[in-house]
Structures are given as structure tokens and as C-alpha cells.
Chains A and B, each alone.
Chain A
Amino acid sequence: MTKEELKSAISLSSPTVTYDESGEFLTVLITPDDLLPLMNILRSKAEFEFDYLFCLTCIDWKDHLMMVYHLQSRTHQHCLVVKAKITDTLQPKIESVNNIWKTAELHEDEVFDLFGVTFLNHPNLRRLFLEADWNGFPLRKNYTDENMIKL
């Protein structure tokens, strides 16, 4: 499906979402509460069939965190970006999507480790790279460390 077709099809099933078409892929902006219902539709409906989550990451925009999900369908070969805005930067929480895409488990571990986003219903949420008692989340913009060198 092209961008336009995707847009109209998603609008049919979930009318509340907003869109951003400036980038290469069609971007869907949602709130964290809408994440799981939308993702389930995108994965299971035959017209979308986004079965491949090729990138899961987070961006720290200082006043909010943005979860970014890059989706691709192996059957239809179309791509979509889903962005969920988390406004609570102190205790960010979002539903885990590891039941929909198994690859999400390790990627969510990584985001938890480096951004501190807690994923609800994640089977084994742990600090993947850093030690369990590490202070702070290194990829946040406000992260400081005494050993850090300004390049």
C-alpha cells in the first residue's frame, strides 16, 4: 500500500490518531494508551500485516520521550512508523509489544537500560548492557557522569 492508502486504512480502524508525512515513511502519532490496540490491528489485519518490527528505539526530547517503532510488512512490503509520546519523563511507562513481535524483547531491554522506559508486561525486563545497580540512563540528554569527556 502507498502512504495515502495506509493513511486512509488506518483512519478507518482507529480514527483518533494523527499523522506526520514529512519523512520517508508515513508516521503515526499516538498516546501510550493507544499503543497496544493499534499495534494489534496493524499486526493482525490482513491488509496491513506488519509482521516485521525492524527498529524499536526511543528519543529523548528533554520535555518528553518519544518511542519510535519502525514496521514493515514482509508480504506487502510497505513500511510505517509509529510514535508514542510519553510525557512523564521521571517514571516513563509503556506497554510492551513483545507478544506481537518477539524481537521486541531484547530491544525493549535495551531501551529500558539506556532510557529508563519501563515496559509493562515484559517477561524479563533487565539492564541488558549496564550493571544492575547503575545510576541513571546514559542516552538521556540530562545524563551526566564525572568521567564523561566533552568532545
Chain B
Amino acid sequence: MTLLGENHITEEGQFVINMGPQHPATHGVLHLKIWLDGETIKKIEPHLGYIHRSIEKMCESLTYRQYIYTTSRMDYLSAHMNNQACALAVEKGLQIEASPRAQAIRVILAELTRLASHQLWWAATGLDLGGVTPFFYAFREREAINNILEETCGTRLTQNFVVPGGIMYDIHPNFQNHVKQVIKQIKDNFHEYDEILTGNVIFQNRLQGVGYISKEDAISYGCTGPTARASGVSCDIRKQFPYDGYDKIQFDEIIATGGDCWARYEVRMAEMLQSVHIIEQLIDNIPEGDFQTKTKAVLKLPKGEFYQRVETARGELGVYLVSDGAATPYRCKFRSPGFSNLSAIPHMAKEAKIGDLMAIMATVDLVIPDIDR
């Protein structure tokens, strides 16, 4: 076995392994080059681009109606929130606002998507730490949510339901009943999540004290979403820069101060219940009215720059539109939450074990197409 050379064993005796692009725990094609001393991680360097589709360049030749739907393929687990952000950016440029009915439906769908995303995250966290069973428990509820999304939006994963000025169609007649059923199912079954994973001693020991990041570092690395909130950073865009009527809804911003994987786990678990709470408030009070504001067939944004921030399941998504007055964006930049959260992983995983890296990647909840765009 020949393992000499810079890419195998360094001069300091560090063992270099390439985790990914095809590895069971990187949730896609993330490639991390890792320098190991025994089992201890000394340095991590992310290598990206294996699934880069240059969405930003594509958007420069798509109209303001079309470009929304490329973003479903960025963070495919919060596809609806991505679409929402893009539509809101266009609405900001056109200086229109979606009707109250459309806003309420958007918020319900966004929270359903967040629930589905967090359930997949919970399932994958269990799986990454070696427990296969949680996966099936989380997917039981996720399937039910996806069925609702399919019924109303037509697709299960990339909903593409948002248009500038509202939503594409009105909701399915069964929507409200089915959402209520799912909410009840989640509330009834939530204790099983705690029984199978949260209360498990091995699981707690795997997460507690692992992957610590301080509040200052979390801000400096640009962490957002549950990753930052677990370090005590108040960063919920829904509270700070409310959009689509989030300011009229009662909910708590979950903040923990632990900063480790366990804090991130707890924040996400509590966020699921908050999403349930938001949906409960809205589902019986969807206002009557139009589901779409009338817009022109060809949208043209005035000259200028429009920045829209949205809280997706992973953190803050920013859509930065630069318009020169034409029917297509001059420049379109997506500030994706995963990209900034990824940059904190080498910091979190320093001096951790290989097994800890799995816990860190699982609790930061990376989605690779979101990072690569």
C-alpha cells in the first residue's frame, strides 16, 4: 500500500482524506478535504462546484416571471421559500403587494415546507449518527405534508406555486381539512421523536459539547437560521424584516445559547412546534379575496437594486436583483444560507473526531445545491 505524497500523508504525519464528492454522509456532492491526526481533524478545506448550475447566470436571460422557478432547484427542501423570496423581490421592484389571501396561503405553505424540511433534517441527523429507525418515523409525517403540497401545488418537492403578485392558483378545496389533519398528526406523534432520539443517552453524548461556535464567531462567519440561533444570535428575518404578513402572526423566535450541536438540535425541534403554531393561527383565518394581484404580462422592473431577505428552513436567503430597466435582471445574486453556514464548519470541526464531523454536518443541515447554486 503506497500512501506517500502530499495528498496522502503530509510531512507533519497528517493523514489526508477526501470526504466526498460521493460519501454517504455529505448529503450530496460536497467534497471536504480533511487533514487528520489519528482520528482528530486538524484542518478542513471545502471544495465545491460538483453540482454548480450557474443559476445566477441563467437568471440574467430569464424574465422576472421565469427566474423564480430556477430557484426551486437551489435549496430544494425549502423550494417554496426560495420562490417566495424571488417573488417578493420582484414585488418590491414593482411596488405592489400580494393580496391578504395570497399572503396567508404563502405563509401556510412556507411553514409546511419548513416542517417537511426540518423533518427530513431530523431523519437525516439520526441516520448520520447511525440510527436508521428515526428516518421512518419522520417520513411518516413528511409524506403527509408532501401529499398536501402535491394536492394544492401539483408537485411534492419543487412547488413552483408562487408568482409575482400572489400565488398561481387558488387552494384545493380539501386543503384546510388536510392541513388540520396533518397538524393533529404531528402534534400527536411529536412525543415519539423525543422518545426515540432526543432522550437517547448515546445520542445526547454524541451532540453535547460537539461543534461549538461562539456568538461572535457565528456572526462573523455569517451563520444564519437555526445554526446561528443556537449560538444566541437573534437573526430570524421573519421577526426582524417581516414579509408576507409575518408581523401579524404570533410566534416565538427560538434562541438557545449552547452553541453546540445539541443546541442546534433543540432549536430545530422547537422550531417545528412554532411552525405548527403559526399554521394553526392561519388555517381557519385565510381571508377571502383574490389570490393574485393583477400584473402586466411582461414585467419590467424600474432601474435600480432590490434586495429581499427571507427566512428559509436553513437560514437567511437574500435575493439581490439589479435591474437596468429591461425585462430580464441585469444581475441576480442569491445569498444562500448554506454557503455561509458551510464556511463555519471548518471552524466548528477543528480538533473534533471524524464522528463529530458527521454530527456537525447533520446539525448545520447543509443542502448542497443551495451551496453550489
Q: Write the residues of chain A forming the contact surface with B, with a CB cutoff of 8 angstroms.
A: 22-25, 51-55, 57, 59-60, 68, 70, 74, 77, 101-103, 105-107, 110, 114, 124, 128-130, 138-139, 150-151
Is the CB–CB distance between B49 and A128 below 8 Å?
A: yes
A29 to B221, CA, bound (A): 25
CB<8 Å pairs between A and B, sample of 23: A23-B305, A23-B306, A23-B307, A24-B307, A25-B307, A51-B219, A54-B316, A54-B318, A55-B307, A57-B320, A70-B335, A74-B219, A74-B234, A77-B240, A102-B221, A103-B220, A103-B221, A106-B340, A106-B343, A114-B56, A129-B52, A130-B52, A138-B57
Is the CB–CB distance between B220 and A150 below 8 Å?
A: no
Which residues of chain A are within 8 angstroms of B54 by Cβ–Cβ distance?
A: 138-139
Please count the residue pairs between chain A and chain B whose beta carbons lie under 8 angstroms apart in the complex: 87
Which residues of chain B are within 8 angstroms of A54 by Cβ–Cβ distance?
A: 222, 224, 309, 316, 318, 335
**Total interface residues on B, using CB and 8 Å?**
44
Which A-B residue pairs are the 3 nearest by beta carbons? A103-B222, A129-B49, A55-B335
Which residues of chain A are within 8 angstroms of B343 by Cβ–Cβ distance?
A: 102-103, 105-106
Interface string of B114-131 (1 = CB under 8 A from A): 000000000000000000
Which residues of chain B are within 8 angstroms of A51 by Cβ–Cβ distance?
A: 216, 219-220
B249 adjacent to chain A (CB < 8 Å)? no
- From residue B308, how far is it (CB to closest CB) to chain A in Å? 9
Nearest CB in chain B to that of A57: its residue: B333
Is the CB–CB distance between A128 and B48 below 8 Å?
A: yes
Which residues of chain A are within 8 angstroms of B217 by Cβ–Cβ distance?
A: 102
- The listed residue (B49, B57, B304, B342) touching A139 by CB distance below 8 A is B57
Nearest CB in chain B to that of A83: its residue: B305
- From residue A151, how far is it (CB to closest CB) to chain B in Å? 4
Which residues of chain B are within 8 angstroms of A107 by Cβ–Cβ distance?
A: 339-340
